[in-house]
Amino acid sequence: MEVFDIFLLEAVVNGILLGGLLALLSLGLNLIFGVIDVVWICYAEVIMIGMYAVYALHVQLGWPLVAAMAAGVAMVAAFGALMHQFVIRPVLSAEPINQLLVTGGMLFFLQAAATLAFGIEFKNLGVKLPPIALGEMSFSLPRIIAFVVALAGVAATYLFLTRSYLGTAIRAISQDRQIMPLMGVDANRIFVVTSALGGALAGLGACLLVLQYDIHPAIGLSFGPITFLICVLGGLGNMLGGLVAAFIFAQFISVGGFFFHIEWGYVIAFAFFIVVMFWRPQGILGGK
Amino acid sequence: MLAVRNLSAGYGSFQALFGVSLEVNAGESVAVIGPNGAGKSTLLRAISKLIELKDGEVTMEGRSLKGVPAHEVIAHGISQVPENRRLFARLTVEENLKMGAFLPAARAKYHQRLAFVYSLFPRLQERRAQLAGTLSGGEQQMCAIGRALMSGPKLLLLDEPSAGLAPVIVQSIFELVRRICHEGYTVLIVEQNIRQVLKVVDRAYLLETGRIKTSGAAAELLASDAIRRTYLGL
pLDDT digits (tens, 9 = 90+) for B124-173: 999 999 999 999 999 999 999 999 999 999 999 999 998 888 888 888 88
Nearest to A179 among B72, B75, B82 (CB): B82
Q: pLDDT band for A1, please (50, 70, 90 cuts).
A: very low
Q: Is A286 on the interface with B (CB under 8 A)?
A: no
Asked if the Cβ–Cβ distance from A182 to B48 is below 8 Å, we say yes
How many whole angstroms separate alpha carbon B147 and alpha carbon B125?
A: 13
Chain A residues closer than 8 Å to B105 by CB: none
Domain count, chain B: 1
pLDDT of A2 above 60: no
Domain that holds residue B102: 28-36+76-231
From the candidate CATH numbers 1.10.3470, 1.20.1540, 2.60.40, 1.10.490, the one assigned to the domain spanning A2-279: 1.10.3470
Phi first, then psi: give them for residue B206, nearest 5 degrees: -100, 120
Of A180, A209, A166, A175, nearest in space to A76 by CA? A209
Domain residue extents for chain A: 2-279
pLDDT of B185 above 50: yes
Interface test with B, best of A164, A173, A183 (most B CBs within 10 A): A183
* CATH number for the domain that contains residue B219: 3.40.50.300
Nearest to A168 among B91, B147, B148 (CB): B91
Q: What is the DSSP letter of B185?
A: -
Chain A residues closer than 8 Å to B75 by CB: 184
Q: How many other β-carbons are positioned within 10 Å of the β-carbon of residue A174?
A: 20
pLDDT cut 70: percent of chain B above it: 100
Q: Is A175 on the interface with B (CB under 8 A)?
A: yes
Q: pLDDT tens for residues B122-134?
A: 999 999 999 999 9
Chain A residues closer than 8 Å to B101 by CB: 165
Q: Give the pairing type, strands B186-191 and B203-208.
A: unpaired
Interface test with B, best of A160, A179, A182, A191 (most B CBs within 10 A): A182
Q: Is residue B226 included in any domain, yes or no?
A: yes
Interface of A with B in 211-270 (CB under 8 A): none
Nearest to A183 among B90, B100, B107 (CB): B100
Q: Is A168 on the interface with B (CB under 8 A)?
A: yes
Q: What is the ipTM of this complex?
A: 0.91
Chain A residues closer than 8 Å to B86 by CB: 176, 179
Q: pLDDT tens for residues B84-101?
A: 999 999 999 999 999 999
Report the gap between the CA of B220 and the closest CA in chain A (Å).
33
Mean pLDDT to the nearest integer, A103-131: 92
**Torsion region of A220: left, alpha or beta (phi above 0 gives left; psi -120 to 50 gives alpha):** alpha
Q: How many other β-carbons are positioned within 10 Å of the β-carbon of residue A94?
A: 13
pLDDT of B196 above 80: yes
- Given a contact cutoff of 8 angstroms between Cβ atoms, the answer to whether B54 and B45 are in contact is no
pTM over 0.95: no
Nearest to B88 among A172, A184, A186 (CB): A172
Q: How many other β-carbons are positioned within 10 Å of the β-carbon of residue A47?
A: 29
- Given a contact cutoff of 8 angstroms between Cβ atoms, the answer to whether A195 and A83 are in contact is yes
Q: Is A180 on the interface with B (CB under 8 A)?
A: yes
Could you tell me how many CB contacts below 8 A there are between chain A and chain B?
66
Interface test with A, best of B86, B87, B99 (most A CBs within 10 A): B99
Q: pLDDT band for A42, please (50, 70, 90 cuts).
A: very high
Q: Is residue B198 included in any domain, yes or no?
A: yes
